Amino acid sequence: MRDPKLLAERFPGDFVFGVATAAFQIEGASKADGRKASIWDAFCNMPGRVFGRHNGDVACDHYNRLEDDLDLIRDMGVSAYRFSIAWPRIYPDGIGPVNEKGLDFYDRLVDGCKARGIKTYATLYHWDLPLALAGDGGWTARSTAYAFQRYARTVMARLGDRLDAVATFNEPWCSVWLSHLYGVHAPGERNMDAALHALHYTNLAHGLGMEAIRSEAPQVPAGIVLNAHRVVPGSRRAEDRAAAERAFAFHNGVFFEPYLKGAYPESFMAALGDRMPVIEAGDMETISQKMDWWGLNYYTPMRVSNDPSPDAVFPATVPAPFVSDVVTDIGWEVYPQALTDLIADLYTRYELPDLYITENGACYNMEVENGAVNDQPRLDYYRQHIEAAANAISAGYPLKGYFAWSLMDNFEWAEGYRMRFGLVHVNYETQVRTIKKSGEWYRDLARQFPHGNHRGA
Ligand code: FCB
């Protein structure tokens, strides 16, 4: 189904098509109007952490180009924008006095969206922890969860009257495991004990954040964004299937089960429970508050086999080979069926509310040639995955919206600016934006929404 208008027919008329970004990846202006450093600013300054020692000082200069970028979003034909709020702009020291100028920026952003008829989907935490809080231990400290609650309250009191939805966290898997166990993201820890503390205090912060949202802006639909993994065993052998189940508990269960069932997975607790921080009375109730929606970020499946070595630590798996030979420029396997399968599996295991795909997209690094960017592989990726999303709707799952990652090329964390995910190309020398071929295709799809026809797929 190459024609975006035909593909559009498979979605109900009130389906939300949007684009997504995150503060640290696009804003730049890292010292403007009272903002102080986040753990990512510090990480970028440490040799060997981020490709080319790239940093977020300028990024896409979005902070200074807000109105033009909002026009760009409108021109992309989408009905919604998912963005994140930078905690270090609001509380430059994490705690202490609020910085009104930081709030003013997001006021302008939200008002600018409203003036253009674009819905606002805000994320409170997309990884830019105020660096000052690292002095207390960052996410390994319980106090950080309470600092987050205060920040959440402040943001919701100011913006809550104009937000269409809010998420507490983006991908806690990354800010917990990737940041504290695998050492790839800030603060670059490789320590299971640190990671287990970050896990519980992040989950606690999610719950405290939900409380803050409910008290300040109960009308705003609230939830969390998870990069749930489609875990696939590398073979049909029993030990690989058992490995995949352990991996599911470790990579998905430690988030889904506390939020939806008020407990950590049994297999995980049996293996690592004695190294968890103290779970205080009431914590699991705080964490398992009812959510109105949840967001799924999906890019690629996770294939695993059993790790037979005697000193292997839970979940004791090793990566298994890709099945598809289509791989994006960042090295991720393209396998659209896993998106449909993942949604089906998660709704079988858990009682989940409405779903938005809050990120999906592909890394291809084509440059501008003769004023255009021919990124056909990205267009193909979007077409296949949006078809997979339509299949999930046909199968009856409550999928309400889809956000492309990303509006524009931006700071791709440890990969710096060399990995491009945008529907719009950014020239980092001139800050010129050029809509790519995939961007034009997505615009033609998104422009079909919303419309009066609310029939199903
Ligand atoms: C996700 C992040 C997002 C972006 C994409 C490629 O894990 O949420 O910020 O970097 O990956």
- Domains of the chain (ranges, CATH numbers): 4-446 (3.20.20.80)
pLDDT (0 to 100) of residue 200: 99
End-to-end CA distance of the chain, in Å? 14
Q: Is the CB of 128 under 6 A from ligand 1?
A: no
Query: Which atom of ligand 1 is least distant from the CA of 419?
Result: 6
415 catalytic? Reply is no
Q: Which residues contact 134 (CB under 8 A, 6 or more apart)?
A: 39, 42, 187
Nearest-CA residue for ligand 1 atom 9 is 22
Q: Is the CB of 123 under 6 A from ligand 1?
A: no
Tell which residue, 262, 147, 161, has the closest CA to residue 201. Answer: 147
Rounded Cα–Cα distance for residues 135 and 129 (Å) = 11
Query: Which atom of ligand 1 is least distant from the CA of 363?
Result: 6
Rounded Cα–Cα distance for residues 445 and 204 (Å) = 39
The single residue of 216, 333, 359, 412 carrying the catalytic annotation is 359
Ligand 1: centre distance to CA 361 (Å): 9
* C-beta atoms surrounding 228 within 10 Å: 23
Query: Which atom of ligand 1 is least distant from the CA of 421?
Result: 6
SS3 content of the chain, % helix, strand, coil (to 5): 45, 15, 40
3-state class (DSSP) for residue 47: coil
Q: Is the CB of 170 under 6 A from ligand 1?
A: yes
pLDDT (0 to 100) of residue 457: 45
Alpha carbons within 13 angstroms on the beta-carbon side of residue 227 total 19
The single residue of 27, 171, 333, 412 carrying the catalytic annotation is 171
Ligand 1: centre distance to CA 280 (Å): 32
Q: Is the CB of 171 under 6 A from ligand 1?
A: yes
Nearest-CA residue for ligand 1 atom 4 is 412
Query: Which of 413, 415, 420 to mutate for ligand 1's pocket (most ligand atoms within 8 Å of CB)?
Result: 413
Ligand 1: centre distance to CA 421 (Å): 9
Provide the β-strand partners of residue 369: 372
3-state class (DSSP) for residue 154: helix
Query: Which atom of ligand 1 is least distant from the CA of 361?
Result: 6
369 catalytic? Reply is no
Ligand 1: centre distance to CA 86 (Å): 16
pTM: 0.98
Beta strand 354-359 with 293-297 is parallel
Q: Is the CB of 412 under 6 A from ligand 1?
A: yes
Ligand 1: centre distance to CA 239 (Å): 31
Helix boundaries (H) for 183-301: 192-216, 238-248, 254-261, 266-272, 283-287
Centroid of chain to Cα 336: 18
Residue stretches of the chain with pLDDT short of 70:
1, 453-457
Query: Which atom of ligand 1 is least distant from the CA of 410?
Result: 10
Ligand 1: centre distance to CA 299 (Å): 9
pLDDT (0 to 100) of residue 258: 99
> At residue 104, what is the residue type?
D
